[in-house]
Amino acid sequence: MALERTFSIIKPDATRRNLTGAINAKFEEAGLRIVAQKRIHMTKAQAGKFYEVHQERPFYDELCEFMSSAPVVVQVLEGEDAIAKNREIMGATNPADAAPGTVRAEFAESVGENSVHGSDAPETAAQEIAYFFSGIELVG
Ligand code: CMP
């Protein structure tokens, strides 16, 4: 197993309900280390650039509107197999399909307002980390 880094967002539905600490506790309890973290409020254009891979999807505008509707917490999580481990901790995209105990099963409100984002592969993790953080901000 390799020490890996993944990118994570605690989304507006979760920051609005003051769930940052509860979600971070799940990451830490599962052995992931938060090596960078900041609270930001994205513009719709910044959210649109981040999610540009989804720009042809019918939910793209709604997604960008939502992601810029309130502050988010962007973070870099480090650990053994961090990308896959974080996806396990998050649970399925649609909370109706998420396994018990996962972040989305416990906290997500809908498929759109689903509390967290996590990178799906090493290439996207590297791109997503670089979109929000400079190297000097990553403190392992
Ligand atoms: P995320 O992991 O951030 O990546 C893309 C996001 O699009 C996803 O989580 C969901 O929040 C959102 N999404 C996916 N499917 C839908 C949908 N059918 N309707 C609204 N939003 C969606």
Q: pLDDT 10s per residue in the chain (140 long)? A: 689 999 999 999 999 999 999 999 999 999 999 999 999 999 999 999 999 999 999 999 999 999 999 999 999 999 999 999 999 999 999 999 999 999 999 999 999 999 999 999 999 999 999 999 999 999 98
Does any ligand 1 atom lie closer than 6 A to the CB of residue 114?
A: yes
**Cα–Cα–Cα angle for 27, 50, 114, nearest 5°?**
45
Whole-angstrom distance, CA of residue 120 vs CA of residue 124: 7
Atom of ligand 1 nearest to the CA of 114: 11
Per-residue model confidence (pLDDT) at position 123? 98
| Residues catalogued as catalytic | 117
Per-residue model confidence (pLDDT) at position 94? 98
Question: What is the whole-number distance in angstroms between the Cα of residue 136 and the centre of ligand 1?
Answer: 30
Whole-angstrom distance, CA of residue 12 vs CA of residue 32: 22
Question: What is the whole-number distance in angstroms between the Cα of residue 51 and the centre of ligand 1?
Answer: 10
Per-residue model confidence (pLDDT) at position 54? 97
Per-residue model confidence (pLDDT) at position 2? 84
Per-residue model confidence (pLDDT) at position 31? 98
**Cα–Cα–Cα angle for 60, 63, 68, nearest 5°?**
130
Minimal CA–CA distance to 140: which of 35, 14, 22, 25? 35
Per-residue model confidence (pLDDT) at position 45? 98
Does any ligand 1 atom lie closer than 6 A to the CB of residue 93?
A: yes
> In the block, which residue shows the tokens 């994570």?
8
Atom of ligand 1 nearest to the CA of 51: 5
Atom of ligand 1 nearest to the CA of 120: 2
Q: Whose CA is nearest to atom 13 of ligand 1?
A: 112
